[in-house]
Amino acid sequence: MKWVLFILLTLSFVVILPVKIFAQKDSTYSYNPRIAIIRSAIIPGWGQITNKKTWKVPLVYGALGTTAYLFTRNIRQFNEASEAYRLAIDADPTNDEQIKQPYYSVKNQPERIRNFRNAVRQNVDYCVLFFVAFWGLNVVDAAVDAHLKTFDVSNKLSIQVNAGASPLAKTTGVNFVLKIK
């Protein structure tokens, strides 16, 4: 590697900074799966791009985007239901006009509003759980792809399935022969 040393004189001390001039790929470079794992954990899809599997990036963002959208929608519904429940149980008929639809039609049954609010809260929790699970699946996918990137799939590997007998075991059956050349 070619390095240039720049010497910067600053007040009374010297700072030496190595700067790479030419970025050449080393022929002895071995692929490091850890890079793809860390990148995918930081930004979803970055590990897939590192592994040159860019077709998976829309799937990653589709899964994460869907759960994020459902999370925000459920949070909005939870807040509306909480406000409607609070207004329905306060026993003040003058503020019943502030209750939004569809809660206004069941304002005399606040338990239904409370049950709906609790169900929506459960959906919020599930959205968070699925978001974290999809993010983790993104990292696992990048890790598996990175580890299999250097897997040998050449013609030097072959497997043969033969019917035959084993004279040593005195049995007949199926033989699996794996030849590695």
Q: How many helices (H) and strands (E) does the chain have?
A: 4, 4
Domain membership of residue 165 as a residue range:
3-180
Average pLDDT over residues 101-112: 72
CA distance 159 to 48: 31
Taking the CA atoms of the chain, what radius of gyration do you get in angstroms? 31
More confident residue, 103 or 86: 86
pLDDT band at 1 (very low <50, low <70, confident <90, very high): very low
- Give 155: exposed, middle or buried? Use CB within 10 Å, 0-12, 13-18, 19+: exposed
Look up residue 53 and give its two tokens: 């599997």
Number of domains in the chain: 1
CA distance 24 to 4: 15
Average pLDDT over residues 119-135: 96
Look up residue 28 and give its two tokens: 């002895």
Q: Angle at Cα 140 formed by Cα 68 and Cα 138, nearest 5°? A: 25
CA distance 58 to 66: 12
User: pLDDT at position 4, please?
Assistant: 31
CA distance 100 to 59: 37
CA distance 70 to 94: 34
Average pLDDT over residues 130-141: 97
For the entire predicted model, the pTM comes to: 0.66
Average pLDDT over residues 43-51: 94
User: pLDDT at position 18, please?
Assistant: 43
**pLDDT digits over 155-175, tens only?**
666 677 777 777 777 777 776
Query: Quick check: 38 pLDDT over 80?
Result: yes
Average pLDDT over residues 100-113: 72
User: pLDDT at position 60, please?
Assistant: 96
Q: Which of 73-82, 99-108, 110-119, 130-139 has the lowest mean pLDDT?
A: 99-108
Q: Angle at Cα 131 formed by Cα 130 and Cα 133, nearest 5°? A: 60
